């Protein structure tokens, strides 16, 4: 089977058996995604390429901890999330609280909500313009949802928060986005 048709999970399994070419293919598939994720989450940090390179090296080093029965993308995004949060903390770019109160209580909306996704193009445009004004805890799930097209469950696995919390952060993040968008003089 050509490498382009091989699933990420199968490639990762091949890497675990020592197949370096499969890892090159995984890098090819994910480097742009992680670069976009990193530059949006880190608000255009100049050395995001270096950080993503470190993420890839870390992924290679820890590939044996990946369970091939599960999806590969949340696993590598989790490594990237940890690296990006470390950068935010180390450089004091933004406060990263140890604990968020929205992880405390159950939230009723716990599944992917098509209502929130009605106009993805418009949301993406608004995000591109106002991303830097959003708090990190809302910015990250919005980026993962609307730019990387990840499901609520995948975002939950990356951020290690309940699915209901993902849902509530997306909802509040979108509300905050609309306000910022209006305040910046843009028309909805």
Helices (H) and strands (E) in the chain, counts: 8, 0
Q: Does 108 bind another protein (CB under 8 A)?
A: no
Q: Does 73 bind another protein (CB under 8 A)?
A: no
Minimum CB distance to another protein, residue 115 (Å):
22
| DSSP symbol at 51 | H
Among 57, 95, 122, 135, binds another protein (CB under 8 A): 57
Nearer to another protein, 89 or 160 (CB): 160
Among 56, 79, 144, 150, binds another protein (CB under 8 A): 56
Minimum CB distance to another protein, residue 41 (Å):
16
Q: Which stretch binds another protein (CB under 8 A): 28-36, 78-86, 89-97, 122-130?
A: 28-36
Q: Does 144 bind another protein (CB under 8 A)?
A: no
Q: Does 97 bind another protein (CB under 8 A)?
A: no
Calculate the alpha carbon distances from 25 to 15, 57, 91 in Å: 10, 14, 32
- Between CA 180 and CA 106 the distance in angstroms is 27
Q: Does 186 bind another protein (CB under 8 A)?
A: no
Contact 102, 167 (CB under 8 A): no
C-beta atoms surrounding 97 within 10 Å? 8
Q: What's the half-sphere exposure (Cβ side, CA atoms, 13 Å) at 141?
A: 29
Give first-to-last CA distance, the chain, whole Å. 47
Site string for another protein, 150-169 (x = CB under 8 A): ------xx--xxxxxx----
Token pair recorded at residue 47: 């050395």
Nearer to another protein, 87 or 123 (CB): 87
- Between CA 29 and CA 127 the distance in angstroms is 24
Residues that bind another protein (CB under 8 A): 16, 20, 23-25, 27-28, 31-32, 35, 47, 49-50, 52-53, 56-57, 60-65, 103-107, 156-157, 160-165
């Amino acid at each position: 089977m050509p490498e382009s048709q091989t699933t990420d999970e199968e490639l990762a399994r091949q890497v675990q058996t020592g197949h370096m070419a499969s890892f090159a293919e995984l890098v090819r598939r994910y480097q742009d995604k992680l670069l976009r994720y990193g530059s949006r989450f880190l608000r255009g940090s100049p050395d995001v390429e270096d950080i993503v390179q470190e993420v890839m090296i870390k992924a290679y080093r820890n590939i044996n901890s990946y369970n091939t029965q599960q999806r590969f993308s949340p696993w590598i995004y989790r490594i990237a999330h940890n690296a990006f949060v470390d950068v935010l903390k180390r450089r004091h770019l933004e406060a990263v609280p140890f604990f968020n109160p929205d992880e405390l209580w159950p939230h009723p909306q716990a599944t992917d909500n098509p209502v929130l996704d009605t106009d993805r193009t418009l949301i993406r445009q608004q995000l591109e313009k106002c991303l830097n004004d959003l708090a990190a805890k809302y910015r990250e799930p919005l980026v993962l949802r609307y730019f990387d097209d990840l499901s609520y469950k995948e975002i939950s696995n990356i951020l290690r928060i309940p699915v209901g919390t993902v849902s509530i952060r997306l909802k509040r993040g979108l509300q905050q986005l609309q306000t910022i968008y209006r305040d910046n003089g843009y028309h909805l």
